[in-house]
Amino acid sequence: MIGGNYIYINLPLLELLELRRRKKKISAAMKLPVIDLSSRDSVSTAIAIRQACIEYGFFYLVNHGVEKELGKAFDESRSFFSLPMNQKMKLARKQFRGYTPLDPALGIQGDSKESYYIGPIADSANAKLNQWPSEESLGNWRSSMESFYWKLFEAGKKLFSLIALSLNLDQHFFEKIGAIDKPSAFLRLLRYPGEMGGHEEICSAHSDCGALTLLITDGVPGLQICRDKSKEPRVWEDVSYMEGAFIVNIGDLMERWTNCLYKSTMHRVKRTGKERYSMAFFLDPHPDCVVECIETCCSQSSPPRFSPIRSGDYMHELFTISPV
């Protein structure tokens, strides 16, 4: 009461104003749950993964066994992106392998980045689709990145077994249904320019389409997540950098597998004015694997929300509608 008059506060309006304020001024950097891949207590680790996937859809993965290779992999990535444009364009992307240049027209609209895709290398047919810099330009770059690819896959395979346990399944569940018996992962090297543009995003808001993503960053900030993609306006939170850790996030197919129990969380990269490098390892199910609701994730009161679909068909439909 002020001056004898009552002032009624519209709480929903205040909440809306607060959300708008937070949208303009992002909250302090958050720390995600930390999962130790080397822990011998698989039950406790699985429980922690379950909680992280339900609450965040994101977590840090430490002691994954690839720590020593990260510095060299970033050096190799910088070496590639430092090549003259005419050499990089010889490897222009075909069938989701190779180089995609920075599009100046997108500098204002968002998604302003260079990238280089390395596709599955487990069988000769897929391996032949990959494009590689010549030894004259980058020496042993191919063998170095292939070795890095396999180390990431082994860490991802171990993580899949823990996710199976977290869903009250046999630890080999995803191998038995043909999801990861043949590696179908893609490694994407990324370089974001340091120049500031008119748009706040250099990688627009999205969720990943596959099962799991292992992300490695160089320490330059910019990654943000939106824990509730259904609410408007969206509230974005900065993700802190943790040296040596992977940032793991759930993709759309894992969300389908788990009947939306595990969240495929929206995320983006904001401009910071600094050049930024990252590497994303997309663990997609084998194209012939049928993704259908896991029996431990549905019940009479919570029936399957999605129809079964081949992973390859899902990806084809997705990229036909919205090519990346």
Strand ranges in the chain using DSSP code E only, listed in sequence order: 27-30, 34-36, 58-62, 98-100, 114-118, 186-192, 201-206, 212-217, 223-226, 237-239, 246-250, 266-270, 276-283, 290-291, 309-310
What is d(CA 87, CA 84) in angstroms, rounded to the nearest whole number? 6
Q: State the pLDDT at residue 228.
A: 87
> pLDDT tens digits, residue range 96-115?
999 999 875 544 444 578 99
Contact 188, 194 (CB under 8 A): no
What is d(CA 254, CA 275) in angstroms, rounded to the nearest whole number? 32
Q: State the pLDDT at residue 199.
A: 59
**What are the residue ranges of helices labelled H in 90-140?**
106-109, 124-127, 135-138
Of 125 and 253, which is predicted with more confidence? Answer: 253
Contact 268, 201 (CB under 8 A): yes
Q: pLDDT-derived band of residue 7, with 50, 70 and 90 as boundaries?
A: very low
Contact 289, 177 (CB under 8 A): yes
* CATH class of domain segment(s) 32-321: mainly beta
**All residues at 6 or more sequence positions from 84 whose CB lies less than 8 Å from its CB, including other chains:** none
Instruction: Say if residue 196's pLDDT is above 60.
Output: no
Of 131 and 11, which is predicted with more confidence? Answer: 131
At 127, is the secondary structure helix, strand, or coil? Answer: helix
Contact 239, 32 (CB under 8 A): yes
Mean pLDDT of 126-137: 91
Q: pLDDT-derived band of residue 16, with 50, 70 and 90 as boundaries?
A: very low
- For residue 129, the Cα-to-chain-centroid distance in whole angstroms is 23
> What is the sign of the dihedral through the CA atoms of 210, 246, 22 and 112?
negative
Q: State the pLDDT at residue 318.
A: 80
Mean pLDDT of 126-148: 93
* pTM score of the predicted model: 0.86
Q: Which of 144-153, 191-200, 205-214 shows the lowest per-residue confidence on average (mean pLDDT)?
A: 191-200
Contact 59, 35 (CB under 8 A): yes
Q: Tell me the average pLDDT of the chain.
A: 86
Q: pLDDT-derived band of residue 234, with 50, 70 and 90 as boundaries?
A: confident
Instruction: Say if residue 53's pLDDT is above 50.
Output: yes
What is d(CA 88, CA 114) in angstroms, rounded to the nearest whole number? 10
